[in-house]
Amino acid sequence: MNIRVGSRISGKSTRSGVILAQKLHAEGISNQRVLQVIARTPRHIFVPEILAHKAYDNTALPIGQGQTISQPYIVAKMSELLLDDGMPASILEIGTGSGYQTAILAQLTQKVFSVERIKALQWQAKRRLQLMDLHNVSMKHGDGWKGWHSKAPFEAIIVTAAPNEVPQALLDQLTDGGRLIIPVGEQTQVLKIITRDGDQYHEKQIEAVRFVPLVPGAVS
């Protein structure tokens, strides 16, 4: 696979990033823009220093507070699903975590809104995005079950923690034609894509996944 270096963002592809992108391509990720962004995003700054040597493995890793940075494959898959139907002008992300998925989305779209319930994680993520010179992200400390009412509606919403049922607020905050990508379930979880069509919602199941739970309420 030939991965070209994008011009809009200052970051350049790194050898480890390109190898990771090639692995994801081999696993079925085909969107070139997503692969390019993976190749040039320094995942090692999103994980604890002690795990930096594993940063370009295709695995989830602990980031503290009982949370994990998502597996690169699933980050790429969800990003690809978001872009499938054209470029959403703005994306709402629930579960900022390390900020890695946020950084990927910020390089793919004009504006990202991201909600995180654990303040310490949100602060670290904010610093990392600044380091990467990504300034098109607004962050909120709060409960993602409620979405982000004052910024709604969104053409796309992505949830990176699993509720046991789809939060009604997120369905309400989609534009007509908008899409919600969300893992749902407890022991067994499935990644779903839900598309709004007026008052109707169409649901498609993508694949089995494993995410930390979407916990109600925010912690300071």
Active site residues: 70
Least distance to ligand SAH, CB of residue 120, Å: 10
Question: What does the angle CA 110 – CA 107 – CA 194 come to, to the nearest 5 degrees?
Answer: 70
Q: Which is nearer to ligand SAH, 13 or 101 (CB)?
A: 101
Least distance to ligand SAH, CB of residue 76, Å: 11
Least distance to ligand SAH, CB of residue 191, Å: 13
Q: Which residue minimizes CB distance to ligand SAH? A: 97
Burial class (CB in 10 A: 0-12, 13-18, 19+), 66: exposed
Q: Which is nearer to ligand SAH, 39 or 181 (CB)?
A: 181
Q: How far apart are CA 92 and CA 191, in angstroms?
A: 17
Least distance to ligand SAH, CB of residue 2, Å: 27
Q: Which is nearer to ligand SAH, 5 or 130 (CB)?
A: 130
32-40 helix and 15-26 helix, angle to the nearest 10 degrees: 150
C-alpha to C-alpha distances, 133 to 15, 18, 58, 129, 162, nearest whole angstrom? 21, 21, 25, 6, 30
Q: Which is nearer to ligand SAH, 2 or 150 (CB)?
A: 150
Radius of gyration of the chain (CA): 16
Please give the residue ranges that form the binding site for ligand SAH (CB under 6 A): 67-70, 94-95, 97-98, 100-101, 115-118, 121, 143-145, 160-161, 212, 214-216
C-alpha to C-alpha distances, 218 to 29, 121, 122, 142, 200, nearest whole angstrom? 34, 12, 12, 5, 30
